Amino acid sequence: MSEMRAPTRTPEFEARLKQRYAAERRFKLAGLGAIAFSVAILVFLLGNMLSNGLGGFQRTVFEVPVDLSRMALSVPATDNEASAVRSLQSQGLPEIVQYAAEEALGSEGASQINSEAWRIVAQEVIADPALLRGSNTYSLPTNEDIASAYAGDGKLHLQPLANELAEQGLLHDAFDPGFMTRSDATDPQLVGIWGALKGSILTMIVTLLLAFPVGVLAALYLEEYAPRNRWTDIIEVSINNLAAVPSIIFGLLGLAVFLTLFPSFRSAPLIGGMTLALMTMPVIVISGRNAIKAVPPSIRDGALAIGASPVQVVFHHVLPLALPGILTGTIIGMARALGETAPLLLIGMRAFVATPPSGFTDNATVLPMQIFLWSDQIDRGFVERTSAAIIVLLIFLLLMNGLAIYLRNKFEKRW
């Protein structure tokens, strides 16, 4: 017996259905394509930064044996490293290092050694004065010319020299732990990001201390106590707007208001933190309100029923329950502030800062700003250093967002 078919399934119908199904498949494929494209861009972006940036954690070094025993050097008995380094400098350490480099690398090679290379020897000697009594091999940074020649571009006439030294094992790339502990410099072989990182941390502390309490208190007021009237409407509208105002506008505000009030704190973490706090506060208010709204009314009713006052209800019951949600929003807001550059550009945190800031009122720069400043440099070496700084920044942001997601999953309650 042949298959029973509905009388409506005519050949025209079948053809139409086939077409519709084909359209369906095309549509689905387009959707998948859109997602694949976004993910591919993300992978390409991160891969690009990684492949460029891993080289930024290295620098090119000469292996130079330095015999310090022939010289009567002594490390002064002081805790102050800077003055010990100065003392070694005046005892002629730079010349000794230069001489040793000439013996090991020839005069042409030695001319490519970094002028600050002796500081590496000085630091190692200060850490371990026993080195003064013998001959040791030190990894000394090169200057930028031979580093780029070694990488295969830059000045062509240096490339044979670089290849020759590399073949003898005297020249190679080595991991550069100092990148995390030094500050900005004009020579890409000598830069580090600790100064910028510390500036970022100080700025974020100011932002958190200002934006978190104000944001949480404002969220509590608006969600729990505010009467529904015109005033509250204005506050609500202005908070929603502040969350969407371009960040550069906050920079204009910081420039015109904060720098007029405190002209001596130009490019200090204090001013930067205050500006970013204005930007972060609305984010905290909005996420805080959502978290507070999610606490079911039965909690409030129960507390009120056994005689708690409205303030006790909020501070003893609602706030602790809403806190994980508020913290999640705060971390996300702080992550946004950490990556922000534009407002800080306007309030002058773009100075060249060669020493890490020691307080909230010192001159400082922040990590994204350091990336921006280095990206403007023409030197080949800065490209890798910039990507390396980006990797550090992205790791911080990933950690913060990961913490936020963890908090959300661990403490989020479905009532």
Partner 1 sequence: MSSAIPLLLAIGLGLAGWLVARGRAWKFKSEAADGRLASLPVYHAWYAALWIGGPVLLFGVVWNAICGNLIMQHVLASPGAANLPAFGMRRDAILREAQNVASGAADRVLIPEAEPLVEPFRAATLLYDGIGIAVALVLALIGAVWVFLRLKPNFAARTKVERGVLGVLFLASLVAILTTFGIFVTLVFETFRFFGMVSPVDFLFGTHWGPDPMAATTSTDGSRYGAIPLFWGTIFIGAIIAMIVAIPLGLMSAIYLTQYANPTLRKWIKPALEILAGVPTVVYGYFAALTIAPAIREIAVSVGIANASSESALAAGLVMGVMIIPFVSSMADDSIAAVPQAMRDGSLAMGATTNETIRRVLIPAALPGIVAGIMLAVSRAIGETMIVVMAAGYAANLSANPLEAMTTVTVQIVAMLTGEASMDHPATLSAFALGFVLFIITLILNVIALRVVKRFREAYE
Which residues 243-272 are close enough to bind partner 1 by CB under 8 A?
244-250, 252-253, 255-257
Q: What is the phi/psi pair of residue 172, to 5°? A: -160, 170
Helix 269-293 vs helix 194-220: crossing angle, to nearest 10: 40
Question: Which one, of 22, 379, 339, lies nearest residue 190 by Cα?
Answer: 379
Exactly one of 9, 16, 18, 33 binds partner 1 (CB under 8 A); that residue is 33
Exactly one of 9, 18, 39, 298 binds partner 1 (CB under 8 A); that residue is 39
Exactly one of 71, 214, 304, 321 binds partner 1 (CB under 8 A); that residue is 214
Query: Which residues 368-407 are close enough to bind partner 1 by CB under 8 A?
Result: 368-369, 371-372, 375, 383, 386-387, 390, 393-394, 397-398, 401, 405
Q: Is 158 in the site for partner 1 (CB under 8 A)?
A: no
Closer residue to partner 1 in complex, CB, 115/309 = 309
| Cα distance between the two ends of the chain | 58
Residues in the chain, overall count: 415
Number of residues this chain uses to bind partner 1 (CB under 8 A): 83
Query: Which residues 162-191 are close enough to bind partner 1 by CB under 8 A?
Result: none
Closer residue to partner 1 in complex, CB, 132/242 = 242
Q: Is 118 in the site for partner 1 (CB under 8 A)?
A: no
Closer residue to partner 1 in complex, CB, 119/350 = 350
Exactly one of 54, 237, 395, 399 binds partner 1 (CB under 8 A); that residue is 237
Closer residue to partner 1 in complex, CB, 166/235 = 235
Closer residue to partner 1 in complex, CB, 180/237 = 237
Question: Which one, of 119, 124, 78, 123, lies nearest residue 97 by Cα?
Answer: 119
HEC string for 91-139:
CCHHHHHHHHHHHHHHHHHHCCECCCHHHHHHHHHHHCHHHHHCEEEEE
Are 91 and 158 a contacting pair, CB within 8 Å? no
Q: Is 20 in the site for partner 1 (CB under 8 A)?
A: yes
**Cβ 274 to partner 1 shortest distance, Å:** 11
Q: Is 13 in the site for partner 1 (CB under 8 A)?
A: no
Report CA torsion sign: 321, 327, 330, 336. negative
Q: Is 74 in the site for partner 1 (CB under 8 A)?
A: no
What is the distance of C-alpha 329 from the center of its chain?
19
What order do you get walking across the sheet with 135-141 strand by strand? Answer: 135-141, 58-67, 171-175
Distance CA 33, CA 131 (A): 62
**Cβ 264 to partner 1 shortest distance, Å:** 8
Exactly one of 342, 351, 354, 403 binds partner 1 (CB under 8 A); that residue is 342
Exactly one of 221, 294, 304, 377 binds partner 1 (CB under 8 A); that residue is 221
Exactly one of 218, 322, 327, 364 binds partner 1 (CB under 8 A); that residue is 218
Closer residue to partner 1 in complex, CB, 252/299 = 252
Closer residue to partner 1 in complex, CB, 141/188 = 188
Query: Which residues 302-331 are close enough to bind partner 1 by CB under 8 A?
Result: 309-311, 315
What is the distance of C-alpha 18 from the center of its chain?
53
Angle at 174 between CA 47 and CA 88, to 5 degrees: 135
HEC string for 207-241:
HHHHHHHHHHHHHHHHHHHCCCCHHHHHHHHHHHH
Exactly one of 61, 206, 220, 319 binds partner 1 (CB under 8 A); that residue is 220
Closer residue to partner 1 in complex, CB, 125/371 = 371
Secondary structure of residue 246 in the 3-state scheme: coil
Report CA torsion sign: 98, 101, 106, 109. negative
**Cβ 109 to partner 1 shortest distance, Å:** 32
Closer residue to partner 1 in complex, CB, 174/398 = 398
Report CA torsion sign: 236, 239, 244, 249. positive
Exactly one of 187, 300, 339, 351 binds partner 1 (CB under 8 A); that residue is 339
**Cβ 195 to partner 1 shortest distance, Å:** 17
Report CA torsion sign: 402, 404, 407, 410. negative
Closer residue to partner 1 in complex, CB, 37/175 = 37
